Chain A
Amino acid sequence: MNTLPRAVDLGVIGCQVCGLVCRNVPGDTQWGGDGVDDVMACPRCGSTLHRRKANSYARTWALLIAGFILYIPANVLPIMRTASLNDIDDNTIISGVVELWVKGSPDLAVIVFAASIVVPMLKFLALSMLLVSSQRGSDWARPQRAKLYRLVEFVGYWSMLDVFVVSLLTALVRFSVLSRVEPLPGVIFFGLTVVLTMLASISFDPRLIWDGRNTDD
């Protein structure tokens, strides 16, 4: 348990947009609502106020699971077709990495591997860990978990790298018969996975990390 008091303990609520702190006591019905399930707005900037992001666990879990489900076809289906004069090559993410490595670009292979395999997996693992630990109200290594969340948010943008590579190549390599790159369904699933995991990390409320076992959310 954290010794520092939380906003809810003090009966206040902060606006995440403009930073205004308002008086709000859960269960206080004198303002018209029940103080728990009402949608409250900041009196200054009008943005929605919430003590914790609404339904954060369920949303994050749902989006994370959806992202993970779509991650399977994203890896199984080929994402890119490289057609040259006498050869048509369909590549999945893994086979592309292997090909890059074998054909003598280990640096590129590492980058693609990191962006397409490591980052999404890291996000799945980190978010799952954060969710589980927060739901259990664990107080284990809270500052590190908060750091981890920030890391997840930061690397989230980079996993779109593969999608960018495919779309760039598709646009650039168009020499009709000689050589041509076409996107294949796998890249759509991969893009969806990235979007869903980003949404999942947004819907996770990092303040939950600091909530103890006896919180009311």
Chain B
Amino acid sequence: MTEDSHVEQGQPPRDELPRPVVKQRRFKESLMIWLVPVLAALVGLSLVIHNWMQAGPQITISFQSAEGLDAGKTPVKYKNVVIGKVKKIRLSADRSHVLVEVALEKSAEGFATKGTRYWVVRPRIGLGGVSGIDTLFSGVFIGADVGESNQPQDEFVALEAPPAVNHGARGRSFVLHSDDLGSLDVGSPVYYRRIQVGRVASYALDKDGKGVSVRIFVDGPNDHFVTRSSRFWNASGVNLSVGANGLKLNTQSLATVLAGGVAFQDPPGPHDSTPAPGNAIFNLFGDKDTAMAPPDGEPHYIRMRFQQSERGLAVDAPVEFLGINIGKVVSVRLDYDEKTQKFPVLVGAVVYPQRLGSAYEKLEAMAEARGEKPALSRMLGRLIAHGLRAQARSGNLLTGQLYVSLDFVPHAAKVAFDPGARPLTIPTAPGSFDKLQEQLAEIVDKLDKVPFDSIGKHLDQSLAALNATLKQVNGQTLPAFNDTLHGVQTTLGSANEAFSGDSPLRRNLSATLEQVQRMARSLRVLTDYLGSHPEALLRGRRADPPPTPLAPPHQPSQPKSGSKP
């Protein structure tokens, strides 16, 4: 290349500097380089726009405390998906609570609406279980649950505890009415055949303050087991009953023992089993037996006037008719009778005649057949005329609990009954137990008179004297007795010696006995002689006959003549 130019131009002089090679015309790039900052600006701008597009609504949630919350870090989660982040935490103007500013993501705009609930998810250890363990490691986060409304809202008050039911969960909620809450709490389980199918969502006092409304949520698909005739009862705690069948312990699960719970079931027998609509209202009974009992019908108030003390008869004691529970005592009060100057006990009770079942229906039918109004008062009047009396009977000998028994008393004195009086007053008869009690009391009185005190004292003294005697016996008599025994022993030893075979006594004795034998023999000879010679007593012995010549030694008479007394 250089040669070309040199050929054209000729060889430059020696001191001349070499010429540069011209390649081509310069490309005009002066404007192209500005693409770089433009590109950078575009990137920056896109970041800004992206940020702006991503930025969702800003909301403020007020908490009781900012415990565990961290500005710039704590996320807001819905179904464990991050939908926002805590931007700033500050105190409210009156310093009563904490305001947490949360930047929601663009996609979470729906969470800035009315009805959305926020709460802090912390590790919680309750009676019903443990939750939020993962937050021990990941730090707390704010949980969210969206509502149904589309109305925008940007200020929220956080819940103190996670809600029991998330919005949009399958299932239905129902309302239970009860006298009191028992040991139920938000989150307490709801059982159907001892399987947990739901939980208590919330509870509130009725407006008039006379009861409690408990809202429960039954998860799908088990919610269709709640029918129009379902009965709900409080399955809290342990139901221990001692009956004729023995000891009975009823619980739903260990968790309910501690945390309480609600159970439901359909009553036995024919019933309406169409699923109950959502938000249907039910009664919450105290226990399963009450819940499963057939409907009681109209309650009637009756009054009984007992002449004797009714200790052990408490409110809620059962009222039984021929052994069937038909109601309960609602009041026990004292009255004063001026005429007799006594204090009778007025017992008020509520009875449900429908609990008598078919008997009541038949009585009603009979009354109608007679053309009377089938009123309880008239029927009672007839029964009382047949000897129906109220008695307080002992239900439990151990605790002395009484119950009221309506029973037919044979040979009961006629009593006037006013069917028009309100409240209906049922005549009473003293219970068999009352008499027994009186007799027992008498026995006890007599026992009381026994001077146990002085008996005891005397016994004590006697025992002390006995004690002293025994000491003496131990100290003095026993050693002496011991000596005596020793003496006896030596005596026996010497006696033993005396009687041994070679002792002089023994020898003397046997010699003496020999002599006695001899003496007896000579005495026999004498008697023999006297027998044959009785005259010898008077005349003396005859002279011996002359001796015979030597006779042989076997002569029998020889020994006789040979001896003399």
- List the A side residues contacting B9 at CB < 8 Å: 30-31
- A72 contacts chain B at the CB level, 8 A cutoff: yes
- A59 contacts chain B at the CB level, 8 A cutoff: yes
- A22 contacts chain B at the CB level, 8 A cutoff: yes
- List the B side residues contacting A216 at CB < 8 Å: none
Q: Mark B59-76, 1 if CB is under 8 A from A, else 0.
A: 000000000000001000
* B36 pairs with A63, CB closer than 8 A: yes
| Nearest chain B residue, comparing its CB with the CB of A62 | B33
- List the B side residues contacting A63 at CB < 8 Å: 33, 36-37
- List the A side residues contacting B475 at CB < 8 Å: none
- List the B side residues contacting A38 at CB < 8 Å: 22-26
- List the A side residues contacting B137 at CB < 8 Å: 85-86
* B20 pairs with A40, CB closer than 8 A: yes
Of A20, A54, A73, A192, the residue contacting B26 (CB under 8 A) is A54
- List the B side residues contacting A43 at CB < 8 Å: 2, 18-21
- A12 contacts chain B at the CB level, 8 A cutoff: yes
* B20 pairs with A73, CB closer than 8 A: no
- B43 contacts chain A at the CB level, 8 A cutoff: yes
* B36 pairs with A196, CB closer than 8 A: yes
Q: Mark A54-91, 1 if CB is under 8 A from B, else 0.
A: 11001100110111011011000100000001111100
- B41 contacts chain A at the CB level, 8 A cutoff: yes
* A37 pairs with B138, CB closer than 8 A: no
User: Are A13 and B20 also in contact (CB < 8 A) when A31-B5, A39-B25 are?
Assistant: yes
Q: Mark B13-31, 1 if CB is under 8 A from A, else 0.
A: 0001111111111100110
User: What is the CA–CA distance of A88 and B25 in the complex, to the nearest angstrom?
Assistant: 58
B residues 61-97 near A (Cβ < 8 Å) are: 73
User: What is the CA–CA distance of A115 and B118 in the complex, to the nearest angstrom?
Assistant: 44
| Nearest chain A residue, comparing its CB with the CB of B22 | A33
- A159 contacts chain B at the CB level, 8 A cutoff: no
Q: Mark B31-42, 1 if CB is under 8 A from A, else 0.
A: 001111101110
Residue in A22, A59, A69, A88 whose Cβ sees the most chain B Cβ within 10 Å: A69
User: Are A87 and B139 also in contact (CB < 8 A) when A54-B26, A63-B36, A70-B40 are?
Assistant: yes
**Nearest Cβ on chain A to B223's Cβ, whole angstroms:** 39
Of B2, B23, B41, the residue contacting A39 (CB under 8 A) is B23
User: Interface size of A by Cβ–Cβ distance < 8 Å?
Assistant: 41
- List the B side residues contacting A49 at CB < 8 Å: 20
- B44 contacts chain A at the CB level, 8 A cutoff: yes
- A24 contacts chain B at the CB level, 8 A cutoff: yes
- B47 contacts chain A at the CB level, 8 A cutoff: yes
User: Are A62 and B36 also in contact (CB < 8 A) when A73-B44, A86-B139 are?
Assistant: yes
* B26 pairs with A22, CB closer than 8 A: no
- List the B side residues contacting A67 at CB < 8 Å: 40
- List the A side residues contacting B35 at CB < 8 Å: 62
* B41 pairs with A69, CB closer than 8 A: yes
| Nearest chain B residue, comparing its CB with the CB of A39 | B23
**Nearest Cβ on chain B to A190's Cβ, whole angstroms:** 13
* B23 pairs with A41, CB closer than 8 A: yes
User: What is the CA–CA distance of A13 and B22 in the complex, to the nearest angstrom?
Assistant: 13
* Interface residues of A, dominant DSSP: mixed
- A32 contacts chain B at the CB level, 8 A cutoff: yes
* B20 pairs with A22, CB closer than 8 A: yes
User: What is the CA–CA distance of A23 and B2 in the complex, to the nearest angstrom?
Assistant: 13
Of A40, A58, A70, A86, the residue contacting B34 (CB under 8 A) is A58
- List the A side residues contacting B22 at CB < 8 Å: 31-33, 38-40
- List the A side residues contacting B30 at CB < 8 Å: 55, 58
Once A and B bind, how many residue pairs between them come within 8 Å at the CB atom? 100
User: Are A66 and B21 also in contact (CB < 8 A) when A72-B44, A73-B47 are?
Assistant: no
User: Are A37 and B26 also in contact (CB < 8 A) when A69-B44, A86-B137 are?
Assistant: yes
User: What is the CA–CA distance of A42 and B19 in the complex, to the nearest angstrom?
Assistant: 8
**Nearest Cβ on chain B to A195's Cβ, whole angstroms:** 11
- List the A side residues contacting B43 at CB < 8 Å: 69-70, 73
- List the A side residues contacting B20 at CB < 8 Å: 13, 22, 24, 40-43, 49
**Nearest Cβ on chain B to A201's Cβ, whole angstroms:** 15
Of B2, B16, B37, the residue contacting A62 (CB under 8 A) is B37
| Nearest chain B residue, comparing its CB with the CB of A38 | B22
* B5 pairs with A23, CB closer than 8 A: no
**Nearest Cβ on chain A to B480's Cβ, whole angstroms:** 94
- A117 contacts chain B at the CB level, 8 A cutoff: no
**Nearest Cβ on chain B to A46's Cβ, whole angstroms:** 8
* A65 pairs with B37, CB closer than 8 A: yes
* B33 pairs with A59, CB closer than 8 A: yes
- List the A side residues contacting B136 at CB < 8 Å: 86
Residue in B16, B24, B44 whose Cβ sees the most chain A Cβ within 10 Å: B44
User: What is the CA–CA distance of A85 and B135 in the complex, to the nearest angstrom?
Assistant: 11
**Nearest Cβ on chain A to B53's Cβ, whole angstroms:** 16
- List the A side residues contacting B40 at CB < 8 Å: 65-67, 69-70, 192, 196
- List the B side residues contacting A72 at CB < 8 Å: 44
- List the A side residues contacting B24 at CB < 8 Å: 38-39
| Nearest chain B residue, comparing its CB with the CB of A72 | B44
User: What is the CA–CA distance of A59 and B36 in the complex, to the nearest angstrom?
Assistant: 9
**Nearest Cβ on chain A to B413's Cβ, whole angstroms:** 85
User: What is the CA–CA distance of A124 and B26 in the complex, to the nearest angstrom?
Assistant: 29
User: What is the CA–CA distance of A42 and B22 in the complex, to the nearest angstrom?
Assistant: 9
| Nearest chain B residue, comparing its CB with the CB of A77 | B47
- A146 contacts chain B at the CB level, 8 A cutoff: no
* A31 pairs with B37, CB closer than 8 A: no
User: What is the CA–CA distance of A12 and B36 in the complex, to the nearest angstrom?
Assistant: 33
| Nearest chain B residue, comparing its CB with the CB of A12 | B17
- List the B side residues contacting A86 at CB < 8 Å: 136-139
A residues 192-212 near B (Cβ < 8 Å) are: 192, 196
* B25 pairs with A37, CB closer than 8 A: yes
**Nearest Cβ on chain A to B47's Cβ, whole angstroms:** 5
* B26 pairs with A39, CB closer than 8 A: yes
**Nearest Cβ on chain B to A99's Cβ, whole angstroms:** 13
Return 28 A-B CB contacts under 8 Å, by A number.
A13-B20, A22-B17, A31-B5, A31-B9, A31-B22, A32-B22, A33-B22, A33-B25, A37-B25, A38-B23, A38-B25, A38-B26, A39-B22, A39-B24, A40-B23, A41-B20, A41-B23, A43-B20, A58-B34, A62-B34, A62-B35, A63-B33, A66-B37, A69-B41, A70-B43, A73-B43, A87-B139, A89-B73
Given pairs A38-B24, A39-B24, A62-B33, 14 additional interface contacts (CB within 8 A): A22-B17, A22-B18, A23-B17, A23-B18, A39-B25, A42-B21, A58-B30, A62-B37, A65-B37, A66-B39, A67-B40, A69-B43, A70-B40, A196-B36
- Chain A residues with CB under 8 Å of chain B are 12-13, 20-24, 30-33, 37-44, 49, 54-55, 58-59, 62-63, 65-67, 69-70, 72-73, 77, 85-89, 192, 196
Q: Lowest 6 CB-CB distances: which A-B pairs, in order?
A: A66-B40, A40-B20, A33-B22, A66-B37, A23-B17, A65-B37
